[in-house]
Amino acid sequence: MSEHTLSSQDAAELDTFIDHLWLEDGLSKNTLESYRLDLTSFALWLTPQNKQLLTVDQADIQQYLAVKFPLSKPRSISRLIASMRRFYRYLMRDNRISLDPTIQIQSPKLPRSLPKSLNEEEVIALLNAPNIEEPAGLRDRAMLELLYACGLRVSELVGVKVTEVSLGDGVVRITGKGSKTRLVPMGEEAVDWISRYLSGARAAILQKRLCDALFVTNRGEEMTRQAFWYLIKRHALLAGITKHMSPHVLRHAFATHLLNHGADLRVVQMLLGHSDISTTQIYTHVARERLKQLHSMHHPRG
């Protein structure tokens, strides 16, 4: 095999991983290409050593980083490590490998970037975009309302079953990462829109076909992550939102807006289903900026 050719197994692994990233997080084409380039370069470096992406250990990664460090900026190294970490965590979750080789690899310290989000006016415009006179539009409105009300991951949203929604109690049972379940309050608006969707639109879409998923398509099947990703992009365009849009952006908006209105970080952590508070702490930067603005606007010495 040529030193500059990926093995068919590595190429297939990368294709599957990139598809997963796109469907799960709705990442931009440039971001996906960065992941692919980082991991392809690593796979090609492994080739002369008769190793593949699934057979590396921590020593291989450290050796590769030692080669890359003198040639790269800290931000590039940080991105490379992030790509590797995401890839091997994905393999761990799928039980493809038994040990994460990146677990003790340290990234260079960089200032944290804030997640992309929408302001409250943009969210309202997005929620109002679907045509609720049509069954599919009513379904889309209910999906967007639930996504924003609960801060769900897209895989959690499309995975909700009818039996997991309690309109009377105003809660939905969510199965998150690692098959962990959590009860999330929906709020009156989401309850109202889901109730309206269930009272006629869902049956109109199914046309007597059976499906246990809450959100269904015209084929009588569960909505897919890919299909919803397209839907949210389309509704964002209708709403005049020019920012890069994905289901994950609405999850960020949920967390940011809760903190802006005084929610406790631990509560936001529970609602998002983060196992570690450090994952949630990125949002405190967003809230801090908001507090600075309020202080400068309203304090006599601001």
| Residue in 202, 225, 251, 252 annotated catalytic | 251
Beta bridge partners of 183: 173
Q: Which of 79, 225, 248, 257 is catalytic?
A: 248
CATH architecture of the region 8-93: Orthogonal Bundle (1.10)
pLDDT at 4: 59
Using the 8-state DSSP alphabet, how is residue 182 labeled?
E
4 is catalytic: no
290 annotated active-site: no
Residue of 35, 88, 148, 283 marked catalytic: 283
Catalytic: which of 36, 274, 285, 290? Answer: 274
- For 168-172, the CB contacts below 8 A with 24+ separation are 172/146
Our measurement of the distance from residue 105's CA atom to the centroid of its chain's CA atoms, rounded to an integer in Å, reads 24
The domain defined by 120-294 folds into: hpI Integrase; Chain A (1.10.443)
Catalytic residue status for 266: no
Question: 93, 96, 177, 180: which is the annotated catalytic residue?
Answer: 177
The larger pLDDT score, comparing residue 244 to residue 217, is at 217
Known catalytic membership, residue 248: yes
What's the one-letter identity of residue 177?
A: K
Cβ pair 220, 209 in contact under 8 A: yes
Is 177 among the residues known to form the active site? yes
235 part of the active site: no
Identity of the residue numbered 40: T
pLDDT tens by residue, 249-282: 877 887 777 777 777 667 667 777 666 656 556 5
Q: What is the pTM of this model?
A: 0.59
Q: How do the domains of the chain map onto residue ranges?
A: 8-93, 120-294
Sequence letter at residue 198: L
- Which of 153, 202, 225, 257 is catalytic? The answer is 153
Residue 252 CA to residue 91 CA, distance in Å, equals 25
**pLDDT given for residue 199 in this prediction:** 94
Residue 292 CB-density burial (10 A; 0-12 exposed, 13-18 middle, 19+ buried):
exposed
Domains 8-93 and 120-294 share a fold: no
Query: What string of H, E and C letters represents the secondary structure of 107-162?
Result: CCCCCCCCCCCCCHHHHHHHHCCCCCCCHHHHHHHHHHHHHHHHCCCHHHHHHCEH
